[in-house]
Amino acid sequence: MSIIIEAVPNFSEGRRPDVVAAIVEAIKAPGVLLLDQSSDADHNRSVVTVAGAPDAVLEGAFRAVRTAAELIDMFSQRGAHPRIGATDVLPLVPIEGITVEECVQLAHQLAKRIAYELALPVYMYAAAATRPERRRLPDIRKGEFEGLLETIHTAERMPDYGPAKVGSAGAIVVGARPFLVAYNVYLNTGDVAIAKAIAKTIRESSGGYPAVQALGLLVEGQAQVSMNFVDTNVTPIHVVYDAIGRLAADQGVSIDRSELIGLTPRSVVFGAAAHYLKLPDLTPARTVEEAVRQSLISNL
């Protein structure tokens, strides 16, 4: 079975195409697959998505962090997006044959290399955090690069790895988190108040489902419950879909359709089919495509 992780580094450069190109070139270590890249000039920020075997992705990520540190000067960098360093944040995400917990170990391994070889201060966040108050990115990034110059000497801001000293590359936040799924449900109504009320009931921050963020929006005249699932192993999308259906029915409204923004782990699809068909052992291994693939791998 192949092991695949994803890395989604965010760089504090979205205006100079040559710098972005150099970073993207650097991240393409042997075995690294470039899945996506996007730059925003207002935010002055670029997001690069790569995947591959853990060793390859870690090597590519390290090279990109080194290149960004060489080419981005945080003393002169300005942009609408909050940031703390040249490579601002670098999450590792499990894709296939690996858990978030194992990605936490990989994140610490990568963080140590960045700290010792590049002499950068590194903070660990999300599942890789070493303190509860460092789980959330905004908490670590508070005061941004300029604030950190003043406070990195304090016990509270002591980096997890590397020197308590800020240079032109700033600091970097490294971590591990599950795959984030963006999923929307459209209601058969133009009354956004119904979507807002449902969003409030289902989101974690108002006491709803754990690992679910939700907002009620009006999209082209139709009420939409717009959601992020930050850990579909904790709350799968079909559980919330069903809840939205019940809450909508209480208001005399039904679900029109739903939509995925971007990609989803296939476990979300198999989990939904298994739930609705009452077929608990429905896993990818039960598909003929996967049987062929496994046979192919074992015959190599």
Among 34, 39, 67, 146, binds its own copies (CB under 8 A): 34
Place of tokens 């090597």: 59
Q: 43, 81, 238, 275: which is the annotated catalytic residue?
A: 81
Q: CB nearer to its own copies: give 111 or 240.
A: 240
Among 76, 154, 205, 299, binds its own copies (CB under 8 A): 299
Listed ranges 78-86, 135-143, 147-155, 236-244: which one lies at the site for its own copies (CB under 8 A): 236-244
Q: CB nearer to its own copies: give 30 or 132.
A: 30
d(CA 152, CA 40): 29
d(CA 181, CA 264): 6
Residue pair 162/122 in contact (Cβ under 8 Å)? The answer is yes
Q: In terms of Cα–Cα distance, which of 172, 145, 140, 173 is closest to 157?
A: 140
- Residues with Cβ within 8 Å of residue 130, at least 6 apart in sequence: 124, 160
Instruction: Report which DSSP code applies to 180.
Output: P
Complete DSSP assignment for 70-91: HH--TTT---SS--SBSEEEEE
128 by Cβ neighbours in 10 Å (0-12 / 13-18 / 19+) ranks as buried
Residue pair 148/74 in contact (Cβ under 8 Å)? The answer is no
Among 7, 51, 104, 115, binds its own copies (CB under 8 A): 51
User: Is there binding between residue 55 and its own copies (CB under 8 A)?
Assistant: no
Q: In terms of Cα–Cα distance, which of 185, 183, 182, 152 is closest to 166?
A: 152
Site for its own copies in 2-21 (CB under 8 A): 4, 6
81 is catalytic: yes
Listed ranges 13-21, 101-109, 211-219, 288-296: which one lies at the site for its own copies (CB under 8 A): 288-296
Site for its own copies in 261-280 (CB under 8 A): 263-266, 269-270, 272-273, 276-280
User: Is there binding between residue 96 and its own copies (CB under 8 A)?
Assistant: yes
d(CA 134, CA 192): 35
Listed ranges 29-37, 100-108, 143-151, 194-202: which one lies at the site for its own copies (CB under 8 A): 29-37
Backbone angles phi, psi at 122, to 5 degrees: -125, 130
Q: Considering the complex, what minimum distance in angstroms separates the CB of residue 114 from its own copies?
A: 24
Listed ranges 14-22, 30-38, 118-126, 216-224: which one lies at the site for its own copies (CB under 8 A): 30-38
Quick note: the x/- pattern for its own copies over 115-154, rule CB under 8 A, is ----------------------------------------
Q: Considering the complex, what minimum distance in angstroms separates the CB of residue 259 from its own copies?
A: 7
Helices (H), 51-136: 54-71, 100-118
User: Is there binding between residue 243 and its own copies (CB under 8 A)?
Assistant: no
User: Is there binding between residue 179 and its own copies (CB under 8 A)?
Assistant: yes
d(CA 139, CA 85): 15
d(CA 81, CA 146): 14
Quick note: the x/- pattern for its own copies over 158-177, rule CB under 8 A, is --------------------
Q: List interacting residues with its own copies (CB under 8 A).
A: 4, 6, 33-35, 51, 95-96, 179, 237-238, 241, 255-260, 263-266, 269-270, 272-273, 276-282, 284, 286-292, 295-296, 299
Q: Report the catalytic residues.
A: 81
